[in-house]
Amino acid sequence: MARSPLTNLEQDLIDDGGSVLFSFIKGEQLEFPITLSFATTTFSTSGYTFEAVVVEALNVDGQTEKPTQDKPSGVQNTLVVRSPVYLGTWSSVTAYNMEDVVFYNSKYYKLKSGAGYVSAVTPDVNSQWLETTANRIYVQFPSTLSLSPGWEITPTVGSPVYGFFELRVTEPNNSIFRKTWKPVRGMVEILFSPTAIVPDA
């Protein structure tokens, strides 16, 4: 087959599933799971560095369209990224805590709830354990995301405000060539909330 000209771009060797939208009502505090498709296991690579950020968009009062620029010198929020505690192969005599992850019979399981939980019932038939994957992390969005420090524009009944989100994942320092991925990007939308303006009882 003949060679293609350099400018005849027919293949993209790096792709993704597209940008995401996280939509919140002002004051909500939620945690979202993100599965890292490029990682075979997050737990055995605890030296990975996770960075999740939201930067304030160039919002305007009464906007009805999503902004397309970040705000110059706008607020930059760093989010907490939680990686579950991996405790290796499940043991009937080990005490486990909520969200601990174990390996049993070629699958991963996480404990739904409890502290110091011990049971001889195997995770595959114990309702206290849920099957999970080995490459899942959790990004935490605090209730104060647009409040502290405050974004310049606040949401109104018909006009939400936005920020730009990105997650960065970097390999441990002992890698031959330290790779960095940015697997999730998109926007954060914050909508008006009546309970946010009424004083707490």
Domain boundaries, the chain: 20-197
What local confidence, expressed as pLDDT, does residue 68 receive?
96
DSSP string across 57-99: B---TT--S---SBPTT--EEEEEEE-PPEEEE--TT--B-TT
Q: What is the pLDDT of residue 102?
A: 94
- How far apart CA 59 and CA 155 sit, in angstroms, is 10
Give the residue from 20, 23, 19 showing the smallest Cα distance to 191.
23
pTM of the shown model? 0.86
**In this predicted model, what pLDDT tens digit does every residue of 105-153 receive, in sequence order?**
999 999 999 999 999 999 999 999 999 988 889 999 999 998 867 899 9
What pLDDT, on the 0 to 100 scale, is given for residue 40? 66
Beta-bridged to residue 187, according to DSSP, are 21, 164
C-alpha span between 137 and 113 (Å, rounded): 18
CB atoms within 10 A of CB 136: 18
Q: For residue 131, which of 111, 158, 152 has the smallest C-alpha distance?
A: 111
Q: Decide: helix, strand or coil at residue 195.
A: helix
Mean pLDDT by 10 residues, the chain (201 residues): 74 77 95 83 70 97 95 96 91 95 94 94 96 90 86 94 96 84 95 89 69
Predicted confidence at residue 126, as pLDDT, reads 96
Q: Give the separation between CA 75 and CA 142, rounded to whole angstroms.
A: 15
**Distance in angstroms (rounded) separating the CA atoms of residues 46 and 43:** 6
What confidence score (pLDDT) does residue 134 get?
Answer: 81
* Contact criterion met (CB below 8 Å) for 166 and 52: yes
Helix (H) or strand (E) holding 102: strand 101-104
Task: List C-alpha distances in Å: 36 to 27, 129, 135, 201.
Answer: 28, 22, 5, 42
Beta strands 30-35 and 161-170: pairing type? unpaired
